[in-house]
Amino acid sequence: MPVNLDKPNLWEEDIIRSVDMYNDWFLKFAPKAFRKTRIQTTKDVEATLKATNNLKNVAPDVLRQHPEALSTLRTSTCPPLAVDRLIGLAGVSGSLVKRMENEKKLPVVLKGAALDTELRKIGKIIERMSDPDIFTWLSRGEPATRAEVRRAATIVADRLCGSVANPIIRNAQEKRQLAALKDWLEARQYRQAAIGEGIKFDSMPSGSFSFRMNVPVKLEGGRQVNIPVDAVIMPKTATKGHLPIFFEAKSAGDYTNVNKRRKEEAAKVTQLRYTYGKEVQFNLFLCGYFDSGYLGYEAAEGIDWVWEHRIDDLSKFGL
């Protein structure tokens, strides 16, 4: 029985209330989440500066020991270097830079003198392009003062956090949404399956739930992959062989992003139904800027939703 997807007469009011709820949360908690990340990032930048003698020695042995420092180093230049720009300027292997950037590790195949040659090229570009307005000590003979290092680390941390501001806010909002789901379920005597219990999604006991659970699905051609689902809930009334109800926690701080991301849910529900049948219940838990175009698209895919400002609608799904 549809809960919200078949009631377009309610969408406009819900959209307004959802936007108001998101904005209220953002004003109260987003700065705190951003500051917390910035504090830790500043410490990470200071560690990088210490390892490189305050950018005076970006040598191969330093990059070997600290491949995770690359994102900090390329953000310390003037102008800050995108990954592909660093690859082009240094004339190094793209796979090397991307592995250091994304996985914080050195390559498996490239070793020894060949690796040092590549790392030296990266170091020379970083040293040559280090921002003189931030690292003011580089142009003088005297070493950096503690205050100068702290100031420079804060500026670079701001650059780093600014480039990933949206993911920082989105992650904080997702944690808050899952906490709201947890509170609602536990108030109705649902039990969260503990990490390490080894319970699979299709063998969960009735009256239990789990977050960020991997669910295996079959792709066309027979290949099997795992897809993560934010919330998997087995109703109290479920009997043996009953599938749990799936929910994706979705938040958005503007209308543009949601219309770029709306196909993600459609792809996920298609894979679940292809594997487990048309009776799969895959729904959304929404807070923020979700307009009628987004809602209409999801409704056409047979995807229902619960607004966070009307979280009690969860009970209409048999929970």
Q: Cβ contacts of residue 129 below 8 Å, gap of 6+?
A: 77, 78, 81
- The C-alpha atoms of residue 139 and residue 132 are separated, in whole angstroms, by 7
- The C-alpha atoms of residue 13 and residue 17 are separated, in whole angstroms, by 6
Give me the chain's average pLDDT, please: 88
pLDDT of 198 over the 70 cut: no
- Residue 195 is predicted with a pLDDT of 61
Report the residue count for the chain.
Answer: 319
- Residue 223 is predicted with a pLDDT of 82
Q: What is the pLDDT of residues 72-97, one digit of tens each?
A: 999 999 999 889 999 999 999 888 99
> Do the beta carbons of residue 245 and residue 318 sit within 8 Å?
yes
User: Model pTM greater than 0.75?
Assistant: no
Query: Which sign, positive or negative, has the C-alpha torsion 101, 102, 105, 108?
Result: negative
Check residues 199 and 120 and name the one with the higher pLDDT.
120
Q: Could you list the beta-strand ranges (E) of the chain.
A: 191-192, 208-218, 224-234, 245-252, 282-288, 304-307
- The C-alpha atoms of residue 51 and residue 149 are separated, in whole angstroms, by 13
| Direct distance between the N- and C-terminal alpha carbons of the chain, in angstroms, rounded to an integer | 13
Domains of the chain: 8-30+166-317 (3.40.1350), 34-164 (no CATH)
Where residue 186 falls among pLDDT bands split at 50, 70, 90? very high
